[in-house]
Amino acid sequence: MSVKNQVQLITYVDRLSGGDLSMLGELLQQELKDLFSGVHLLPFYHPIDGEDADFDPIDHTQVDGRLGNWQDVRRIGERFDIMADLIVNHMSAKSPQFQDVLANGQASPYWSLFLTRDKVFAAHDEALINKIYRPRPTPCFTDIQLKDGQTVPFWTTFTSNQIDIDVHSDAGQAYLDGILRTFADNNIDLIRLDAAGYAIKKAGTRCFMQEETFEFIATLSERAKQLGMQCLVEIHSHYQTQVDIAKRCDLVYDFALPPLVLHSLFSHDFTALGKWLAIAPHNCISVLDTHDGIGIIDADPDGDKAGLLTPAQIDQLVETIHSNSAHQSRQATGAAASNVDLYQVNCTYYDALGQDDLAYLIARAIQFFSPGIPQVYYAGLLAIPNDMDLLSRSNVGRDINRPYLDREKVRAALQKPVVKALCQLIELRNRLTCFNGEFSAVAEGGCLTLSWQSATSSAKLHIDATNRLSASIAVTEDGDTQEIILADWLGV
């Protein structure tokens, strides 16, 4: 099956609904009625309050009881395309399987499920280990003591509580297949392969996005397809990696788009964005914001490979985000807060643009007119500012963009002019059939034109940043043309 080419929502179940899956289902059909064709339910497994907001699941196949059960998931799936996360690379150290390993060592039936340093490296070879690509400043191995007193260096790509899986082992393959079958039985349409780029480890390589990784993703995607689902590959890397992997999988993220849109609006120059749109994969999910930070590495150079932006442009981009957010993003990024990635800036997209309503609406228009199925993060939908209170309480950098909202806060946010305008833009994107047609892009310095054409309709977004930032959309249906000035939707 294939998911609909309309706007989808990204959300935590409890942080948007103020409650559980049933309450989220009501919200989608009431306050947010007719806005979304699908929803990415961020991890809802047992437990949702782990170390990494449920990206360290104890049990992928168990819905956290505080949110509901699989029947509640299936009920949402009757009306919406559902995307769920398959955390490919690791699982919680608190899982029953790893606890059995701690108790029984190599006698455990789950010993082969987990990856240790010694399964990859014949000896403690620092030269080979130093080649490993690190997404975080922490070591890639954690020495963990078993019940018998033996200390074992387990592979922990992200945190010491997230134990890497040996996906080549029979136990690892059975584990992943069990999750796929559970998803297929419960109305999941699209699987987000989280951290898939790190799944294959091989001595002498970067242990990230090598040829065997492509093969692993292709095999996993084929199994999902046999069960009636599609796979979205989640990889932050040099842009060429996205181009290459898009040829070999169902869907990839357009992670280059968020930094390029910011750069374009900051510099009033669409040249870099235009070059990307000329080569960008069309079988993609487009985002500006997600539950993570704003990715930078996707536009960055990689060694001797040029990036979509130069190092100087990257530095200017990051510093402008910090300035626009009154340096709140600086407090949430890098060494300033725990559990952060080296390649992301933690900030809401709304604050990254200095809470400029017109610039924010134009950024969304670029996203919706770029190739791919658009997804909008719940905090971005409602133009929620940085949650500095939550950040101060948790000291987790990405919590700056992971607010807890109850129903009343959602209703209040929906009344803001920028949110009302964004909802109009979503409805337009969902309605027009031309977004299944032919795409073209023209970028000339401070001007950008994105166009879609089908047999029955066309739509053209034109942005002019040469003087005062402005944008308009021309829509033609059945021979009638309507021009929309985005500033008019904001009442300015």
Q: How far does Cα 382 stand from its chain's mean position? A: 18
d(CA 178, CA 182): 6
Residue 234 annotated in active site: yes
d(CA 298, CA 463): 24
Find all residues with CB under 8 Å of 397, minimum gap 6, and list them. Answer: 293, 332, 333, 336, 337, 338, 339, 340, 346, 391
* Backbone φ/ψ region at 103: left (φ over 0), alpha (ψ -120 to 50), beta: alpha
d(CA 341, CA 346): 9
* Backbone φ/ψ region at 245: left (φ over 0), alpha (ψ -120 to 50), beta: alpha
> Is 443 within 8 Å of 273 (Cβ atoms)?
yes
Angle at 371 (CA atoms; ends 227, 361), nearest 5 degrees: 120
Q: Which of 51, 81, 194, 399 is catalytic?
A: 194
Place of tokens 């806060």: 409
d(CA 477, CA 355): 33
Q: Which of 64, 85, 164, 234 is catalytic?
A: 234
**Both ends of the chain: CA-CA distance in Å?**
43
d(CA 409, CA 412): 5
DSSP-assigned beta bridge partners for residue 464? 447, 470
Q: What are the residue numbers of the active site?
A: 194, 234
